[in-house]
C-alpha cells in the first residue's frame, strides 16, 4: 500500500499517511476522476470505513483530499454521527491531522503560507479558497482546452463540463456573474473554476 501511495502523495508524506490509513482501518480506493468532488468518505453497513480519492489529482491536492476524508472518519468516531459534516468538530480534526504535513519536506515553500492561512479555518473544499486552489492547480497536468474563469474575457462565451453555454459578466464581490445562454438565468462562478472558452 505504501508503494502505491508514493505514486499519489509527496514522498515524505507516504509513511505518515500509510500510518493514518492503518490506524483508522481505512479501505482506500483510488478512482477515475469525478467532476463533482475530489474525494468521499462513508462507513458502509458492515462498519468498514471507505474513502475514495480521484486518481487524477496532483500529489499535493491528493494528500489534502485524503486527509480531509480521514478527518471525517475521525470526527464522526470521536464526536458521534450527529455532528455537521464540515462543522467545528471536523475543522478541528482536519487541522490536527493536517498540521504535521505542512512543512517544506512535503509541500513547496510557496504553498506553505497559503496552507497555514487556509488551515486556520478550513473550508468544506479547498476549491473555495481561490488563492490556494489556483496555487495547487499549478501542479496539475494542464489541459489545453481548459481555461480558468478569471482568464475568460468579459462578454466571452464559455462551456462547463456538462456542455452548458454561458456568457461571462461582471465580478460581484468574489465571483463572476454569468448568463446561461439557453435559459437566460444568472449563475455565479469562482475565479478558479475551469471552463472551456468558445472561440467566436
> Which pLDDT value is given to residue 157?
95
Q: Does the residue 153 lie in any domain?
A: yes
| Residue 142 in domain | no
Task: Give backbone dihedrals phi and psi of 189, rounded to 5 degrees, phi first.
Answer: -125, 135
Let me know if residue 190 belongs to a domain: yes
Assigned domain for 110 exists: yes
Per-residue pLDDT of the chain (200 residues; tens, 9 = 90+): 778 999 999 999 999 999 999 999 999 999 986 656 789 998 888 878 899 999 989 999 999 999 999 999 999 999 998 999 899 999 999 999 999 999 999 999 999 999 999 999 998 888 888 889 889 988 988 777 778 898 899 999 999 989 999 999 999 888 899 999 999 999 999 888 889 999 76
In CATH, what number is assigned to the domain containing residue 114?
3.30.2010
Range of the domain at 131: 2-137
pLDDT at res. 70: 96
Same domain, 56 and 18: yes
- Considering the domain architecture, whether residues 128 and 157 belong to the same structural domain is answered as no
- Indicate whether 128 and 158 sit together in one domain: no
**Per-residue confidence (pLDDT) for residue 200, from 0 to 100:** 63
Whether residue 172 sits in one domain with residue 76? no
Amino acid 117: pLDDT = 94
Predicted confidence at residue 36, as pLDDT, reads 64
Same domain, 119 and 175: no
Q: What distance in Å separates the CA atoms of residue 15 and residue 21, rounded to the nearest whole number?
A: 10
Q: For position 34, what pLDDT does the model report? A: 65
Count Cα neighbours of 142 within 13 Å in the Cβ-side half-sphere: 5
pLDDT at 1: 75
Cβ-contact 128, 114 below 8 angstroms:
no
Q: Are residues 133 and 171 in the same domain?
A: no
Q: What is the pLDDT of residue 46?
A: 81
Say how far apart CA 163 and CA 196 lie, in whole Å: 9
Q: How many domains does the chain have?
A: 2
Residue 35 lies in a domain: yes
Which residue in the block uniquely carries the three cell numbers 512535503?
Answer: 106
Residues 7 and 48 in one domain: yes
Read off the CATH number of the domain in which 187 is found.
Answer: 2.30.30.30
Amino acid at each position: 500500500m505504501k508503494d502505491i501511495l508514493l505514486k499519489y502523495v509527496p514522498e515524505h508524506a507516504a509513511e505518515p499517511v500509510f500510518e493514518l490509513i492503518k490506524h483508522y482501518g481505512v479501505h482506500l480506493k483510488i478512482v477515475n476522476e469525478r467532476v463533482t468532488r475530489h474525494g468521499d468518505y462513508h462507513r458502509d453497513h458492515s462498519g468498514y470505513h471507505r474513502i475514495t480519492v480521484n486518481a487524477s489529482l496532483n500529489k499535493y491536492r491528493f494528500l489534502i483530499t485524503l486527509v480531509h476524508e480521514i478527518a471525517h472518519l475521525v470526527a464522526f468516531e470521536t464526536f458521534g454521527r450527529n455532528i455537521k459534516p464540515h462543522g467545528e468538530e471536523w475543522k478541528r480534526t482536519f487541522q490536527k491531522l493536517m498540521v504535521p504535513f505542512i512543512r517544506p519536506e512535503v509541500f513547496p515553500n510557496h504553498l506553505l503560507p497559503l496552507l497555514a492561512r487556509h488551515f486556520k479555518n478550513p473550508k468544506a473544499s479547498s476549491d473555495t479558497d481561490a488563492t490556494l486552489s489556483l496555487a495547487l492547480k499549478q501542479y496539475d497536468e494542464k489541459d489545453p482546452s481548459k481555461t480558468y474563469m478569471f482568464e475568460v474575457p468579459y462578454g466571452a462565451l464559455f462551456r462547463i463540463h456538462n456542455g452548458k453555454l454561458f456568457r461571462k459578466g461582471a465580478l460581484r464581490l468574489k465571483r463572476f456573474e454569468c448568463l446561461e445562454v439557453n435559459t437566460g438565468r444568472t449563475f455565479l462562478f469562482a475565479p478558479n473554476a475551469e471552463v472551456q472558452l468558445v472561440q467566436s
